[in-house]
Amino acid sequence: MDSLIFTTLLLFLMPTIYSSIYSESKIMLTQRKIFTKVEPLTSYAVIFDAGSTGSRVHVFHFDQNLDLLHIGQDVEFYDKIKPGLSAYANDPKEAAESLIPLLEEAESVVPQDLQPNTPIRLGATAGLRLLDEDAAEKILQEVRELLKNRSTLNLQPDGVGILDGTQEGSYLWVAVNYLLGKLGYSFSKTVGVVDLGGGSIQMAYAVSRNTAKNAPKVSDGEDPYIKKLVLNGKNYDLYVHSYLRYGKEAFRAEVLKVTIGSTNPCILRGFEGTYTYGGVDYEASASPAGSNLKECREIVLKALNVNASCPYKNCTFNGIWSGGGGSGQKNLVGFADINKPNSIVNPVDYEIAAKQACNITLEDVKSIYPDIWESDRPYVCLDLVYQNALLIDGFGLDPLEEITVAKEIGYQDALVEGAWPLGSAIEAISSLPKFENLMYFI
């Protein structure tokens, strides 16, 4: 499989363990002019990202050519809170009200005279996808009522909902290629993306018209593999797939399910307790000998379901069609360490890092990996083994293939997070009459 852009917040260990493997990425960015004052034809968009671990708000500011403008010193306004909406499954009203501080901050950024024409959206991702459908809808309805009754921003009828995997993946692809100045060029000039989130993984890249035409058909109710977009006057066929339950937090639970009733060789020695995900507690106890890379990898591959039967010629894992690869998938960049916006690693580096992580105890973690949250410490071995297996066994990358890993993408004099909210903002703004000929989604 050719390379992709690998976007993730999970690749947090590598700079700490092997800082020498990193070098600066040589991404050539488009030359866009950034203005520092509000121009007559500017527009704003407010996007809420209701994720599995927390809620975030993004405010974007565009000029008449749909180029980003500054908001103060930055190219976007951003803030976040914890926990996420799914943590309020039994109190939908409290879930909605948890967003009020973020809403008030967003409204303070958008000029008052522009607020009635400023689209506001909330997209819920894996966290609410995993909730009972009725519980999730009650939360979303309370959010709709809150935004309609408390905000002067422009909420469309479909402005609040759960993003399906196709939407999330395509928005991410648009955001990254927009920031890199790739939109409007041939599909072979664009870059592919893989986003390893908390609850799911999204994969998206542009394919040829012939590949799109011959894409496998899916069953009713499933997301199609191909999504069509028109961006900067160019037609794109986008391969998109979302792997629900394979995100960082969700996959830990899948690994623990494999060893229910016994100790787990992926857990660091010294930890005995439970891991909670999606409101369910899973036994998470280390074996007396501590974590073991080889044994952990066997369990990870079983949970990854790499040997699942697949009726297609090109597959990833769990029986999923890979899209066939190709030139639209040839660049691999990701989002990780906040102190190193662009870095280069190989899949094998995660195995090297895992060898160290799987040979320490829980007591050692704080001194060796001081930036890791306490709740993540028992799983440092598991997380690194998973990343290595995902890249090599899941996506079929060569162990020595170069991957650019980053937290943000450089956009002139600023760094911007390459995440789905920017793609959603572009779609929302594109629906305004003055932008209708620039970009649209099918």
Q: Write the CA distances from 266 to 210, 298, 385, integer angstroms.
A: 43, 10, 8
* Residue 127 burial by Cβ neighbours in a 10 Å radius (0-12, 13-18, 19+): buried
Closest C-alpha to 407, from 85, 28, 66, 14: 14
| Other C-beta atoms lying within 10 Å of the C-beta of residue 172 | 27
Closest C-alpha to 304, from 198, 174, 225, 391: 391
Binding region:
198-202
Q: Note if 168 is an active site residue.
A: yes
C-beta separation of 76 from 31 below 8 A:
no
154: CB partners within 8 A, 6+ apart: 115, 116, 117, 118, 119, 120
Phi and psi torsions of 228, nearest 5°: -100, 135
Binding region for ATP:
198-202
Q: Side-chain half-sphere of 261: how many Cα atoms within 13 Å?
A: 0
Compute the distance between CA of residue 75 and CA of residue 61 in angstroms, rounded to an integer.
8
Q: Which of 76, 107, 142, 168 is catalytic?
A: 168
Closest C-alpha to 69, from 32, 106, 103: 32
* Residue 414 burial by Cβ neighbours in a 10 Å radius (0-12, 13-18, 19+): middle
Known catalytic residues are 168
